[in-house]
Amino acid sequence: MASSGIPSRRRRVALLGTGFIAGAHVAALRALGDLELWAVCDRDHGRLHGFARRHGIGRACADLDALLATSPDVVHVLTPPDRHAEAVRRCLEAGVAVLAEKPLVLGAEEARELGALAAARGLALGVNHNLVFHPAFVRLRRLVARGAVGRLEHLDLVHHVPLRQLHGGDLGAWVLRAPEHILYEQAVHPLSLVVSLLGPARTVQVQTSGVRVLDHGGAFVAGWSLAIVCARGTAQLWLGFGRSQTETTVHALGTDGTAWLDLARGTLLRGRKTRWPDMVDAAANEAGRACEAVRRAVVEPARYVAGLFGLGAGSDPHARSMRASVQAFHAALGRGAPPPCDAAHAAEVLAVCDAAAAAVRALPRAQMPFQPPPPVPPRRGEIAVIGAAGFVGRGLVAEALAQGLPVTLVVRRPEALPLALRGPELRVLQADARDPQALGAALAGVRYVVHLATAAGEDPAQVAASMVQGADAVASACLAQGVERLVYVSSSAALYLGGRRPVSDDAGPDPMPSRRGAYAQGKIAAEARLRERARGEGLRLVVVRPAIVVGSEAALQHPGVGIWVRDGVCVGYGLGRQPLPFVLVRDVARALLGALRSEAAVGRSYDLAGDVRLGARAWLAAVQERRGRRFVFVPRPLWLTWTLEAAKWLIKRLAGRPASWVSARDLASRSFRAPIVCEAARRDLGFAPEPDRTRFLAAAIPPAAEGGEAGP
């Protein structure tokens, strides 16, 4: 293949998309010395410029035309899968080489067409099937290549993973819009290994399990079993999605040996025929496996430290596979050679996905994109909820509708609303919570506003600033439209709860915000800004601070319980006996509606904590009993947690890596040592939390979902 017309100067690499995977591409590209991060493109203006600033990329483009006008040599296509085809085609037609994230496109035939287009233009078209470059899989390929397992006959693969979009309730995510999308998003990982070792699939048989209907009306399939006959052997593949743990393994069976790979941990264990009798043969194989375990115990920590100081790729198998995949593509590009994972390889992988997808074509599709009807005029007593798609927001809307109250939803992405928020009784208006002008238009004629939207991001300082910016924009819109009352939903994180004295509603936020974490700082600063505007401009404000909110749709891994080092392993902020201020979402919703009605509430702040206050140990024991899962609580004194966090901070700073300081005050506050007293909320808002432990636990902890742990 030709050299793609790339000149001898440093190769200009552009990124199309700044989502979750873009940071991994930047890290991989930074490790290559002959490249220049030339430009970046994203349709989200705020995310685009934040990403460009964070990674030092000088050209930030709002669309693909502008990106191509900067004359890049290569574009990494990192958009959602349904946008790949158009983007790849336009780049190739513009004479630009492409490395696309998997899946290349959403069907084998289109992959072949794009491969033909790339070949006709003399351009490289690679696909980031990074699992092919996983260190353990690379070792397996070498074993197979030199005949160490004989002729490879069969692969038994397990790909058992959580799904952040499912657990986070991101119903607008592409992967949840149709039941077969999970195949193109996730199954391509293990299937790329099958194709690499056994060649193209000849036949595919599919069985599914764990089918359930999501809130947007579409089906989700949690379990897939694929039996595949390939050109050079057979494969059995089990796919489990939305699971409680990660388990990605490959068992390779050959005529003269076996190999077992744990890709989540980077382990390869071999089984081979030896010259010894059976008893000694078994011992020899066990000794080999023990040597591998010792090697990993010594090598992996050293790799981690070396990677931290920029002296290697680190110990994370995913990061190493990403780096190796990107490096292999660019190395081939520099030589004028075909990419190691090209369109032909992608087409063979997608052919299996196409065959498996046929098994679920009859299942219901998500009712998306949702186009809300033109809003009716505001009704008497209209309540606008900003951030209604979140956990507390959904509970508030349900309670308001149950009380017959008129509700307007002000959302950034109306197409992603669940079915429960698409009813004809709801007005749905689109506006960004940081845009005062758009918010002002959405709040016209509204009587009350409940502001629930918060902020997230990689940069802690930006998180705090975004919270203040959003609160300020909402205040401006409320004042401009003459809104009668704004209820700002803050958090108990704004309080200092590390002392022993009870904290009452009028205690106010932590007076030392600089010694708190980004989330707490943001809530404290947003409260302060809103109070300033209430004093100076007459904003009728009520601040409400819920504590640890639980309910049937809440994630079990609540950060208020402890530090979740794994989805089922929680390190406590102490020994786990301190009563924690849990509160049911329905009780919070009723109190928020009470804050809209009560004249005594204007200008005041209220804390919401329930009457059933379990320690972390007791809470996790109850979760374990109701969910049928094992949860491990690790008690740890706060001084030890702080010491370990300080040590991690110091190591990262010595390595020149960004690190957020965890203050002793912040950790102390997370322990909830100070009891929260809610007498004023009971008096003024009608706050009446569930007092019965049995009824509380039944409402707080949902039973396990049928067909697997695919729920919250």
DSSP string over 652-669? HHHTT-------HHHHHH
Report which residue type is found at 655: A
**Residue for token pair 């390929």:** 141
pLDDT, average across residues 294-311: 61
Distances from the Cα of 305 to the Cα of 296, 310, 547, 570, angstroms: 14, 9, 38, 25
Joined tokens for residue 275: 């010259």
Of 224, 6, 211, 188, nearest in space to 95 by CA: 6
Of 183, 158, 160, 184, nearest in space to 236 by CA: 158
pLDDT, average across residues 480-490: 95
pLDDT, average across residues 509-530: 93
Q: What is the DSSP pairing of strand 219-230 with strand 233-241?
A: antiparallel
Sign of CA dihedral 675, 681, 682, 688: negative
Report which residue type is found at 162: P
pLDDT tens profile 96-129: 999 999 999 999 999 999 999 999 999 999 999 9
Of 487, 204, 496, nearest in space to 352 by CA: 204
Residue of 428 and 293 predicted with greater confidence: 428
- Residue 47's pLDDT is 85
- Residue 245's pLDDT is 78
* CB-CB contact of 712 with 554 (8 Å): yes
DSSP string, 507-533: G-S-S-GGGS-HHHHHHHHHHHHHHHH
- Residue 152's pLDDT is 95
Q: What is the CATH architecture of 383-561+579-615+679-700? A: 3-Layer(aba) Sandwich (3.40)
Per-domain boundaries in the chain: 11-128, 132-308+346-360, 383-561+579-615+679-700
- Residue 712's pLDDT is 44
Q: How far apart are CA 394 and CA 488, in angstroms?
A: 16
Joined tokens for residue 254: 């050959």
CA angle (602 as vertex; 598, 603 as ends), nearest 5: 155
- Residue 707's pLDDT is 44
Q: How far apart are CA 645 and CA 662, in angstroms?
A: 7
CA atoms within 13 A on the CB side of 182: 25
Other residues' Cβ atoms within 10 Å of the Cβ of residue 278:
8
CATH 3.40.1190.20 fits 132-308+346-360, yes or no: no
With cut-offs at 50, 70 and 90, classify the pLDDT of residue 555.
confident
Of 475, 484, 486, nearest in space to 592 by CA: 486
Report which residue type is found at 454: T
pLDDT tens profile 53-92: 989 999 999 999 999 999 999 999 999 999 999 999 999 9
Q: Do domains 11-128 and 383-561+579-615+679-700 have the same CATH topology?
A: yes
Q: How far apart are CA 141 and CA 146, in angstroms?
A: 9
SS3 211: strand
Joined tokens for residue 216: 């947007």
On the question of pLDDT at 310 being above 60, the answer is no
Joined tokens for residue 297: 């115990």
Q: What is the DSSP pairing of strand 201-213 with strand 219-230?
A: antiparallel
* CB-CB contact of 498 with 669 (8 Å): yes
With cut-offs at 50, 70 and 90, classify the pLDDT of residue 2.
very low
Length of the chain: 712
pLDDT, average across residues 669-687: 95
Query: Burial code of 280-318, b = ≥16 C-beta within 10 A, e = fewer?
Result: eeeeebeeeeeeeeeebeeebeebeeebbeeeebbbebe
With cut-offs at 50, 70 and 90, classify the pLDDT of residue 666.
very high
With cut-offs at 50, 70 and 90, classify the pLDDT of residue 20.
confident
DSSP string, 248-270: EEEEEEESSEEEEEETTTTEEEE
With cut-offs at 50, 70 and 90, classify the pLDDT of residue 703.
confident
* CB-CB contact of 92 with 123 (8 Å): yes
pLDDT, average across residues 376-397: 92
- Residue 710's pLDDT is 45
Q: In Å, how far from its chain's centre is CA 641?
A: 25
Residue of 364 and 416 predicted with greater confidence: 364
Residue of 297 and 473 predicted with greater confidence: 473
DSSP string, 64-107: HHHHHHT--SEEEE-S-GGGHHHHHHHHHHTT-EEEEESSSSSS
Q: What is the DSSP pairing of strand 152-161 with strand 407-411?
A: unpaired
- Neighbouring residues of 538: CB distance < 8 A, sequence distance ≥ 6: 479
CATH of domain 11-128: 3.40.50.720
* CB-CB contact of 138 with 313 (8 Å): no
E strand or H helix at 303: helix 278-308
What average pLDDT is seen over the chain? 88
* CB-CB contact of 524 with 516 (8 Å): yes
Q: How far apart are CA 380 and CA 377, in angstroms?
A: 10
